[in-house]
Amino acid sequence: MNKIKYYFASILFLFGAMAIAQEEEEVKEGRDPGHYNQSRFKQLYEEFATPNTYRSASGAPGPDYYQQRADYDMNIELDDKNSKIYGEETITYFNNSPDNLEFLWVQLDQNVRAKDSKSPLRDGNGVNFAYTTGNFANTYVSEPFDGGFNIEYVKDANGRPLSYTINQTMMRLNIPQPLKSGEQISFSIKWWYNINDHVNGRGRSGYEYFPKDGNRAYVIAQFFPRMAVYSDVEGWQNHQFWGSGEFALPFGNYNVNITVPADHVLDATGVLQNRKEVFSKDMMKRYEMAKKSYDKPVVIVTQEEAEAAEKGFSEKKKTWKFKATNVRDYGFATSRKFVWDMQAVKIGSKDVMAVSLYPKEGNPLWEEQSTKAVAQTLKTYSKHTFDYPYHKAISVHAKNQGMEYPMICWNYGRPNEDGTYSDRTKYGMISVIIHEVGHNFFPMIVNSDERQWGWMDEGLDTFMQYLAEQEFGKNYPEVIAPNGNYPSRRGEPSKIVPYMSGDQSHISPIMSNPENVYQLGPNAYGKPATALNILRETVMGKELFDHAFKTYAQRWKFKHPTPEDFFRTLEDASAVDLDWYWRGWFYTTDYVDIGVKGVKKYFVSDKPTKEMEKYMADRNLTEADLPPLVYLAEEDSEDFSPELKGKSPTETSQNLKEFMMDNMTEAERAQVVEPKYFYEVTFDKPGGIPMPLIVEYTYADGTKENVTYPAEIWRKNDAEVKRVISSEKELVGIIVDPKLETADIDTANNSWPIKEEKSDFDKFKENIKGK
């Protein structure tokens, strides 16, 4: 800083100190009552759980961190004729906690569709504007579907009956003695249930019936009794499954045998153990080719073969055998209608198979785009988190579905019957595949509690989906023609503005249970994804954010993180204090609204302003009592004199000129460029969320200057702040957030001079004239 700039900074500091002293005296006349710390920048100690030996203050697992394990051996049979599924399973549960467990909790999620389910009774809404035909028929016309579990027995390891109690979607096993820390227990359950029609409003999995050929395509999940999570945070996570809040599950190893009609094609979580028994010779040859094909998919079952199989309805059976290691759940898809393709993707040092299963009704869209989307997802997510650890990722086409499980997911996106499709259908299909395959990372590996914190998987995944979509657009420009920009539905700041500016009575904080929010999509998907995108692009910067985000993913892969673990890790790995950001975006329903309140122009003078004269009089001071000062006279005040205009500061201030002569060499004075214009710009913040103040200044010669003031500029005044601009050039325009980076809900106050917004009627008239 050269000496003249230092001098001006000192004068401005002196004026600031005087203003504070004056405010303090005014407060003394009528004191306000005291208050708690209400700063939006205070630390989140009140909101966060206290760090302990299980979870450290850094956001990493602590030295005593533990998690339970549940292994499954299952024999499953699907009855295609009657749409039923039967299962026998043995669960081996390992108590790695320091606690002795008096009982065990098992999840029976299918009971949400039982005839006596309480889930349909919990909502207090009236008549909707409109219903899908399926939802209306299922709600008001059809008999309730009987889809709950039928438990035939629960037995201990010795085959003796084990006492149990069912409470809606949870089953308590009343074990005869506590399961001590470090011990394990095995028990068996035999069950069956009626498979639901997932197309007509009945759930996340089930079947789609195709009346033209009489076949069904099955996507099966939540199909077996599953262990609940026991952790240092919740104890037993036995919150009921009502339908919206998803799942909390421990990791384990699975041995699963699935028996289906012999003419079905099937894929599932895990490594197929008997491929040569269930594959034809042609399928085996094609599979070996697919393992070496990195640029395009190899078709394992062709559409012609699938169409021929549709007519068969074999009475024979075939058993597919799978093993899965260290997964938190299990799903499978089966039908005689499926076309099947695969492609190898290089992830780190190993190959992963990108796989697609789809009926002919999905073509030509699915054979063109599905496996591309799977491959892109694996590459993008691995780059930003960790190398995908499993050997395959499967995308299954299922009408009206978008749901995820380890290594397998189902996705919508169906062309018209003649094979044509709109851009909306194409992008919707690519996006849902990226999203659901991406769930392999969050929460299938970074295993958050979906039942309690829906945003921890949906929001993080939607953020990563945005990055993958943009990379998909760059890598496949022919798909995104003509402009090459992928039209992401969520992630960009402007896309969340309608939600954040909406009716506050129907908005919940992100930190809410998914069952209790009004608009789950914007709340759990869109807003957290946008918050992370802004954090990456605008607040932290890509380098700091990417390192911190990857640190979180690698710390918590194959573990159970909490929101605090995420928040703390991002700060720990970046040295950026973000408590103000988490508070505003995640713990409140506040919104962003920052604007330009006013601009005042000043000129340099040696003559004290009226305000300064009053200040000195109140303290019995004269100019002789103070050091030589420079004063700034506002153009629109009685302190202003026209002769000040158009002159340099040293021409209008003898004090400044003498200072420079006494304190600067001739060479230093020759280098000084004196500012001729001084402005006080007041920025206000009608919105509650503090954000970086991004400003574009425009000068009379057409040049622009962009300045980003950190969010901490609001730390002492949450309503408005002021900046002094000194310049050689006249300031003619100011725009706050010129690139719309902060999700500002009202841009009408973002400009100076105020830009007049044309009315809809004026726009209509201009449109008519143009035609």
| Interior/surface letters 695-718, b for 16+ CB within 10 angstroms, e for the rest | bbbbbeeeeeeeeeeebebbeeee
pTM of the model: 0.92
Task: Report the pLDDT averaged over residues 63-77.
Answer: 98
pLDDT tens digits along 595-626: 999 999 999 988 999 989 999 999 999 988 88
Residue 116: band (very low, low, confident or very high) from pLDDT cuts 50, 70, 90: confident
425 class by beta-carbon count within 10 Å (0-12 exposed, 13-18 middle, 19+ buried): middle
Least confident of 113-122, 188-197, 578-587, 708-717: 113-122
pLDDT tens digits along 663-720: 989 898 888 888 889 999 999 999 999 999 999 999 999 999 999 999 999 999 999 9
Mean pLDDT of the chain: 92
Residue 118: band (very low, low, confident or very high) from pLDDT cuts 50, 70, 90: low
pLDDT tens digits along 424-462: 999 999 999 999 999 999 999 999 999 999 999 999 999
CA 183 vs CA 73, 94, 101, 253, 559: distances in Å: 19, 6, 10, 17, 20
pLDDT of the residue at 9 = 47
* DSSP result, 374-405: HHHHHHHHHHHS----SSEEEEEE-TT-EEEE
Assigned token pair, 649? 């500061």
| Interior/surface letters 341-368, b for 16+ CB within 10 angstroms, e for the rest | bbbbbebeeeebbbbbbbbbbbbebbbe
- Among 408, 375, 398, CA closest to 269: 408
pLDDT of residue 645 exceeding 90, the answer is: no
CA dihedral sign, ordered 379, 383, 389, 394: negative
pLDDT of the residue at 145 = 78
